[in-house]
Structure 1
Amino acid sequence: MNTNALIRPAWTPATIALMVLGFMVFWPLGLAMLAYIIWGDRLESFKTEVNRSTDNFFSTFRGCTRGPAFRETSGNVAFDEWRDKEIDRLNEERRKLDEARAEFDAHMRDLRMARDREEFENFMAARRRKSDDGDKPTSVPEFG
């Protein structure tokens, strides 16, 4: 995936053009693009939360069919206990992996914000240099 996408939740020329075009074609499209520009950076965390909520919701159903009370028994109590412990251990590992993924997503979001901040600061520094070099005091002609 391209990490420097044109259509990202920021005030880029492409997103502004899409917003204006959206307002010209059908105003709710322009409004949706404006909302994406303003609140689009929150979509990743929203998507993660929705996925986590649906996973938790459906895991309750999986628990009903595969829970300790409803699991098929092999006929061997020792094996069933070992299998239950392994399943619990794997569920714990899955939880740790999900937490690590969430931490990595937050880290990547922070890196994107830092990159954007650095690009903006470079732009402002170049702009200041340009204005310092180009704006020499000149005499203003008087009219009147």
Structure 2
Amino acid sequence: MDRRGKGAWLAAMVLGFVLFWPLGLALLFYMIWSNRMFSNSKSCSRTKSFYRRDAASGNTAFDPYNASTLRRLEEEQLEFESFMDRLRAAKDQTEFDEFMKDRSRKTHDKAAQSEA
């Protein structure tokens, strides 16, 4: 719900009050305790990116290393996403082939029953 922002938390809290008031109260206390109620950002997530591409640390040894590491991680992410796409496509193809085989078998069985 953090991706959807403060509105999603508020909607969940109101829904919690409507369905079962202790649930709404628990969500209210959680939102106050975790600072989701009063955060200014749209995303209430506490995790922020510590590394920005354009930010230089000023350390001439670290900056090139950091840039190359980030570049390598982006390449690995693209390779992984490509792998996952191929995996999904193979799974979809397998499921489709199984469906077509079942369909063909059922059609063949119906034809055999109607002949008998």
TM-score of the superposed pair, with normalisation by structure 1: 0.43
Structural mapping, 1:95-110, within 5 Å: 95-110=78-93
2:12 aligned partner: none
1:71 aligned partner: 55
RMSD: 1.7
Counterpart residue type for residue 67 of structure 2 = D
- Rounded to whole Å, the distance in 2 between the matches of 1:82 and 1:72 is 11
* Moved segments of 4+, more than 2 Å: none
Name which of 61, 65, 78 aligns with 1:82: 65
- Rounded to whole Å, the distance in 2 between the matches of 1:103 and 1:129 is 39
Instruction: Please report how far the alpha carbon of residue 84 of structure 1 lies from its aligned counterpart in structure 2 after TM superposition.
Output: 0.8
Length, aligned pairs only? 67
TM-score of the superposed pair, with normalisation by structure 2: 0.53
- Rounded to whole Å, the distance in 2 between the matches of 1:77 and 1:122 is 68
Instruction: Please report how far the alpha carbon of residue 132 of structure 1 lies from its aligned counterpart in structure 2 after TM superposition.
Output: 1.5
Counterpart residue type for residue 113 of structure 2 = K
Higher relative contact order at CA 8 Å, sep ≥6: structure 1 or structure 2?
Answer: 2
Where in structure 1 are there 5+ consecutive unaligned residues?
1-61, 134-144
Instruction: Please report how far the alpha carbon of residue 130 of structure 1 lies from its aligned counterpart in structure 2 after TM superposition.
Output: 0.5
Instruction: Please report how far the alpha carbon of residue 66 of structure 1 lies from its aligned counterpart in structure 2 after TM superposition.
Output: 1.4
User: Cα deviations across residues 66-123 of structure 1 (Å, max 9, x unaligned)?
Assistant: 12xx3140x3211111111011001000000000111111111111111110010110
SS of corresponding position for 1:66: coil
Instruction: Please report how far the alpha carbon of residue 131 of structure 1 lies from its aligned counterpart in structure 2 after TM superposition.
Output: 1.1
- Rounded to whole Å, the distance in 1 between the matches of 2:61 and 2:56 is 14
- Rounded to whole Å, the distance in 2 between the matches of 1:114 and 1:98 is 24
SS of corresponding position for 2:55: coil
Counterpart residue type for residue 71 of structure 1 = A
Write 1 or 2 for the structure with the bigger share of helix.
1
- Rounded to whole Å, the distance in 1 between the matches of 2:86 and 2:55 is 34
Where in structure 2 are there 5+ consecutive unaligned residues?
1-48
- Rounded to whole Å, the distance in 1 between the matches of 2:56 and 2:68 is 15
The sequence identity of aligned pairs, in percent, is: 18
